Amino acid sequence: MQALRKTLLQWYRANRRQLPWRETADPYRIWVSEVMLQQTQVATVIPYYHRFVAAFPDVHHLACAQEQAVLKLWEGLGYYARARNLHRAAGEVQRLYGGGIPESLAEFRKLPGVGDYIAAAVLSIAFQRPHAVLDGNVKRVLARLQVLDLPVDQPAAHRRFQALAQEMLDTRLPGEFNQAVMELGALVCTPRQPDCGRCPLAAACSAFKTGRVAEYPKRRQPRSVPEHHIAVGVVRRDGRLLITRRKSEGLLGGLWEFPGGKVKMGEGAADACVREIAEEVNLQVQVQAFLTRVKHAYTHFRIRMDVFTCRWVAGEVRLNGPVDYRWVRPTEIDAYPFPRANTKFIPFLLAALAGE
């Protein structure tokens, strides 16, 4: 095991990518990067990271920010609960610890949004605490090294993987070692077509030595992902457009959107649009035109979203579901944070309105 650790660390030092959060020892910046990197690719995160730490360079600035400003900088990155929790956690770090991130696992773990992965990553990288990280990359490397038949996507197997990761950890250099395993998973021991010929751990890898790399990691049977048909209306009144804000909790919480909802079985999308707007914001509208169809995938479902422009006919806004609303000029839309499914069609919308 000691030889494996040494080999992996040597490989990491020679092959690691230069990433902005690897050029800092600031626990806050490492924390921000790890939150962003959960569920999101490195290349996507880099520009978001730069913009975020430029706007909020430390815990104090983030703690004092408006949630809407935080969400705006997160727009397009997805999994918005991460941003809301990071913002709330910064407030608690400011209030409880004077802006200094706690080094104790028990204290850091109590903060909103800080789970096992974030706690282990930040405390090991920033403070050299001996906690092994466990993410998809680490599980895959472990499963192949040890030909583990445990499904990596089974919650019950998580504890076993965590124990194995902890056994493998180099506790003298936990931050560097954690990053080395994850980097190996990202660059060499990739999900498809791992580059075993270039792998520093090939001599110790049971899957490679027995010719069974393609069999690992094991997974449960993939579940089918449902698709929802959604109708959305851009309601126009006196040159302004209606946008509504979702409640703070839950999927896409706190973000703005155009009103709409699920199309019922046997219902036309335009009819669903009119019905949903009446139910959600109490307005009578008439569909003017079909604007576009947007497809978007979330973790557990996909949507097929038909977008219509609508004319206000009667009624005043009374909210049933959303927590806020605005009538905005098209030029003001950019100031609000929207989910990705909306930002996919907003450029079409603005172009269509400009061409009238």
- Cα–Cα distance, 286 to 273 (Å, whole number): 9
The residue among 207 and 333 lying less far from ligand SF4, judged by its C-beta, is 207
Shortest distance (Å) from residue 113 CB to ligand SF4: 31
The residue among 139 and 245 lying less far from ligand SF4, judged by its C-beta, is 139
Among 62, 89, 126, 213, interactor with ligand SF4 by CB under 6 A:
213
Among 208, 312, 338, 345, interactor with ligand SF4 by CB under 6 A:
208
Q: Is the dihedral of CA 229, 312, 238, 323 positive or negative?
A: negative
34 carries an active-site annotation: yes
The 10 Å CB-count burial string (b at 16+, else e) for 93-105 is bbeeeebebbeeb
Three-class SS state of 196: helix
- Cα–Cα distance, 318 to 160 (Å, whole number): 51
Positions 131 through 160 that interact with ligand SF4 (CB under 6 A): 141, 144-145
Distances (CA, A) of 136 to 5, 47, 116, 154: 19, 23, 13, 12
Catalytic residue among 23, 34, 107, 280: 34
The residue among 81 and 202 lying less far from ligand SF4, judged by its C-beta, is 202
The number of beta carbons lying within 10 Å of the beta carbon of residue 2 is: 7
The residue among 125 and 205 lying less far from ligand SF4, judged by its C-beta, is 205
Nearest to 241 by CA among 350, 96, 116, 120: 350
Among 121, 126, 207, 241, interactor with ligand SF4 by CB under 6 A:
207
Q: Residue 302 is which amino acid?
A: R
Binding mask 63-102 for ligand SF4 (x = CB under 6 A): ----------------------------------------
Shortest distance (Å) from residue 146 CB to ligand SF4: 10
The residue among 145 and 148 lying less far from ligand SF4, judged by its C-beta, is 145
Q: Residue 238 is which amino acid?
A: D
Shortest distance (Å) from residue 224 CB to ligand SF4: 29
For the chain, the C-alpha Rg in angstroms (whole number) is 24
Residues belonging to the active site? 34
Which residues of this protein are in contact with ligand SF4, per CB under 6 A?
141, 144-145, 188-189, 194, 196, 199, 201-202, 205, 207-208, 213
